[in-house]
Structure 1
Amino acid sequence: MLGNQDCICALATPQGLGAIGVIRVSGPNSIRQLAGLFSKSLEGKQSHTLHFGHWRTSGGALIDEVLVSIFAEGKSYTGEESLEISCHGSAYIQEQILRSLLENGCRLANPGEFTQRAFLNGKLDLSQAEAVADLIASQTQRAHEIALNQLRGKLSNELRDLREKLIHFASLVELELDFAEEDVEFADRDELKALVNDVLVYVGRLIQSFALGNAIRNGVPVAIVGAPNTGKSTLLNQLLGEDRAIVSDIAGTTRDVIEEMLNIDGISFRLIDTAGIREGAETIEAMGIERSRAKIEQAAIVLCMCDASNPDSLAEVKAWVKELRSRHPSKTVFLLANKVDLVAGTKPSDEMLFISAREGFGIDELRTKLSSAVK
């Protein structure tokens, strides 16, 4: 426990009108410090107990009927003696309770200070502290699962195992160096090689899991690219189930990058509708095309669209796909042949996915492919 800390307080529930408001208090001797504000004595009470009573101002005026939860030192979120005051959700009531706390020696907590104290007091390690913010911000099932596993120490345990392997490896190397002039082997060479390989595989898996976890938390970036008027904006609207991008028969309508979030099977995808790529575009459209190229570089998944009714379009996009896969082997690239409703006799192909963004044909299969690409 860190010493010489003051008592902090903050509203734990969102500001505004609501049925219930919760105010959190943490700090050494916080129960004794605030004893005059609550109608019942809380000193000596068992940790993790709930107490009904009245909260009053420093002058004794009644503010509200409240429930006070108490947490003993070492048994709270922060590791310090803590209270949580549950009151009615009136903004005025919450303001008056906070005012009474400030008048009795508390101060308003800085952003993230409760979690900071939990970290400093050894209740959370750094990866768990980061997971708290991720858990609060999670908007999908997968983002929630990743944050929760990290909060429960899954990443911490993996890093601890990696540390132990590295220490073991270092100790064997140091022994060899200490007795370098003697014909003595303290470690089998095959064991050393296996240990190094294990560590490399482990680090590679951590890097891969970080990239995937980061994408899931922030939305897997999916760039929709193609020549003008191949149906990119129509596909965006079809996937979202609403009109978010302007659709027109005039080539070059989308002159800037449009980004929207889409949830598929609990995974958040950040769809990026890019300006159609073509040579000889005017200045404003050309700026949009440059932004499109930048987004393609950043995307984890690229949907390359062509017009199935135009053989030249198909040949052009096949060349794009080949180039993308060559330059970025880690990217997932799908070739989509759109406007299949205008072409007779199309046959299923492993090379490309036939869709009709306007009619909705093939969209369910595309959703499945997107979901499978990050699982």
Structure 2
Amino acid sequence: MAFSISEKEDTIIALATPQGVGAIAVIRLSGKDAIQLTNAVFRGKDLEKQESHTIHFGTIRDGDTIIDEVLVSLFIAPKSFTKENVVEISTHGSSYIINRVLKLFISKGARPAKAGEFTQRAFLNGQFDLAQAEAVADLIHSDSEAAHQAALHQMRGGFSGEIKNLRDQLVHFASMIELELDFGEEDVEFASRQDLHLLVEKLLRVVEQLIGSFDLGNVIKNGVPTVIAGKPNAGKSTLLNALLNEEKAIVSDIAGTTRDLIEDEINIGGVIFRFIDTAGLRETTDTIEAIGVSRTQEKMKTASLILYLFDLSDTDLIEINRDINKLENLGVPFVKVANKIDRANDQFISDLKRNHPDTIFISAGKKENLDELSHKILELVNLDKFKTGNTVVTNIRHYDSLVKTRDSLLDVLSGIDNEITNDFMAMDIRRSLYFLGEITGEITTDDLLANIFSKFCIGK
């Protein structure tokens, strides 16, 4: 979504609130003529004589025809989201009114905004960097407390500040190395190789920490894929329904009722978990059920968390130990969940607690001890790092750039150790700076910007 020079000079317009009938709608304009265009169809105060960050009541008219009574908010450049003149018109939420107002402004010279064009203008005009711009979209789409906090931290410059600090430190040494190239014949050293080595090691520790945070960041942003696995009739569908508080999955005493994967999202402690109810794990001659069992096994391999559910009234310790051994070999964190505690033998419960003290005992049917299960699930996600305020990487593009930065910094270290020439060392340092610059937008291409902002909604 590259824009020509003339397009960047246009005044753009779009609906900033969701489509559909509501009490009010907000229509946004941005561009040097935004206030002038609005003033031409507004009856009330003269908007071109008003101060920034003021709100004015009046009517929007097409000639002598009143379209609606509105509130007009003024944001005069550069004190606006886009750093251009911005007008936000609050109308009644009728789709008829919205379309009439949009068509009126377009007829007067405004252009319909493209996806993400308001935020892109804010970025291009220096309101914030690219990482902060991407956080705007993440904030809009955040559907949990953790996702909201991560996006807000990034939008307010927490992540960008760390990247800028890394880049600034490296730029100083890069300039010293480049200066040495100008005095190549005089054998001078402006940048201590020992100091550079220490700096790169320090930068690598920070970069590695950011890379390592991506697993947590991905969980925060996209949810934790959590598989409920166990034998048929262990109560997997009943547990899913109990957690959801709705009859999402079919519950039956007939073994093999669940033959495909059933997914839904649950918010636990501010984190989204994508629960997947699976076909029961057993040997079967039923072709359709066998496909479901195969899909279950594949989902278990790619899950971030597994709830191993077993029926206390229909499972022995030998079978439980065998299943746990298989789960441990998968290498995926799992919770041992003993279901139907109301039907269990006291001696068996005692033996199980002795052999597996971390087991959670529940009754999915009666919704007993589900809070304890929720706490255990949340504990395994390990949000401690996030809750301390540390920066967490949630964006795959940032993760990819950080990995490339790490590899380039390792090349710098290798170059110092092997005493390579300054021109090659300068290349490795420049490459590190390039990848860090990709994150904040100091290094961009039209294709990169088009890909990022095309994912935004039209009015943002």
1:333 equivalenced with 2:331 (yes/no)? no
Provide the rounded CA distance (Å) in 2 between the counterparts of 1:352 and 1:180.
Answer: 72
1:321 equivalenced with 2:324 (yes/no)? no
Higher deviation after alignment, 136-145 or 158-167: 158-167
Contact 2:28–2:89 at 8 Å: present in 1 too?
Answer: yes
Contact 2:70–2:89 at 8 Å: present in 1 too?
Answer: yes
TM norm structure 1: 0.87
Q: Partner residue of 2:360?
A: 353
Q: Partner residue of 1:141?
A: 145
Higher deviation after alignment, 269-278 or 43-52: 43-52
Q: CA, structure 1 residues 295+164, in 2 after alignment: closer, same or farther (shift >3 Å)?
A: farther
Provide the rounded CA distance (Å) in 2 between the counterparts of 1:282 and 1:295.
Answer: 20
1:295 equivalenced with 2:302 (yes/no)? no
1:64 equivalenced with 2:68 (yes/no)? yes
Q: CA, structure 1 residues 373+322, in 2 after alignment: closer, same or farther (shift >3 Å)?
A: closer
Which stretches in structure 2 are left out of the alignment for 5+ residues?
Answer: 384-460
Deviation at 1:62, TM superposition (A): 1.9
Q: CA, structure 1 residues 320+197, in 2 after alignment: closer, same or farther (shift >3 Å)?
A: farther
SS in structure 1 of the partner of residue 281 of structure 2: coil
Paired AA for residue 335 in structure 1: K
Provide the rounded CA distance (Å) in 2 between the counterparts of 1:285 and 1:31.
Answer: 64
Provide the rounded CA distance (Å) in 1 between the counterparts of 2:358 and 2:128.
Answer: 49
Provide the rounded CA distance (Å) in 1 between the counterparts of 2:177 and 2:199.
Answer: 12
How big is each residue's C-alpha offset from its partner over 1:226-271, in whole Å with a ceiling of 9 and x where there is no partner? Answer: 2222222122122222221112222221111111111112211111
How big is each residue's C-alpha offset from its partner over 1:127-154, in whole Å with a ceiling of 9 and x where there is no partner? Answer: 2222222211222222211111111111
Q: Decide which of 91, 96, 113 is 1:92's aligned counterpart.
A: 96
Deviation at 1:200, TM superposition (A): 3.0
Provide the rounded CA distance (Å) in 2 between the counterparts of 1:76 and 1:183.
Answer: 50
Name the % identity. Answer: 49
Q: Partner residue of 1:245?
A: 249
Provide the rounded CA distance (Å) in 2 between the counterparts of 1:353 and 1:234.
Answer: 16
SS in structure 1 of the partner of residue 310 of structure 2: strand
More helix by share: 2
Paired AA for residue 378 in structure 2: S
**Pairing 1:1-375 to 2, within 5 Å after superposition:** 4=6, 5-39=9-43, 40-57=45-62, 59-167=63-171, 186-187=191-192, 189=194, 194-309=198-313, 310-311=315-316, 312-325=318-331, 331-341=332-342, 342-345=344-347, 346-347=349-350, 348=353, 349-374=356-381, 375=383
Provide the rounded CA distance (Å) in 1 between the counterparts of 2:189 and 2:15.
Answer: 65
Contact 2:180–2:188 at 8 Å: present in 1 too?
Answer: no
Q: CA, structure 1 residues 200+351, in 2 after alignment: closer, same or farther (shift >3 Å)?
A: farther
Q: Whose RCO is larger (CA < 8 A, sep 6+)?
A: 2
How big is each residue's C-alpha offset from its partner over 1:157-192, in whole Å with a ceiling of 9 and x where there is no partner? Answer: 122123234445656777899889979795374x55
Q: CA, structure 1 residues 208+184, in 2 after alignment: closer, same or farther (shift >3 Å)?
A: closer
The runs of 4+ residues in structure 1 deviating greater than 4 Å are 168-186, 191-194
Q: Partner residue of 1:328?
A: none
Deviation at 1:56, TM superposition (A): 1.0
Provide the rounded CA distance (Å) in 2 between the counterparts of 1:252 and 1:172.
Answer: 70
Paired AA for residue 58 in structure 2: G
Aligned residues: 367
SS in structure 2 of the partner of residue 323 of structure 1: helix
Paired AA for residue 325 in structure 2: A
SS in structure 2 of the partner of residue 249 of structure 1: coil
Provide the rounded CA distance (Å) in 2 between the counterparts of 1:135 and 1:355.
Answer: 36
Contact 1:11–1:24 at 8 Å: present in 2 too?
Answer: yes
Paired AA for residue 227 in structure 2: A
TM norm structure 2: 0.72
Q: CA, structure 1 residues 172+252, in 2 after alignment: closer, same or farther (shift >3 Å)?
A: farther
Provide the rounded CA distance (Å) in 1 between the counterparts of 2:157 and 2:193.
Answer: 33
Paired AA for residue 314 in structure 1: I
Paired AA for residue 306 in structure 1: F
Contact 2:176–2:190 at 8 Å: present in 1 too?
Answer: no
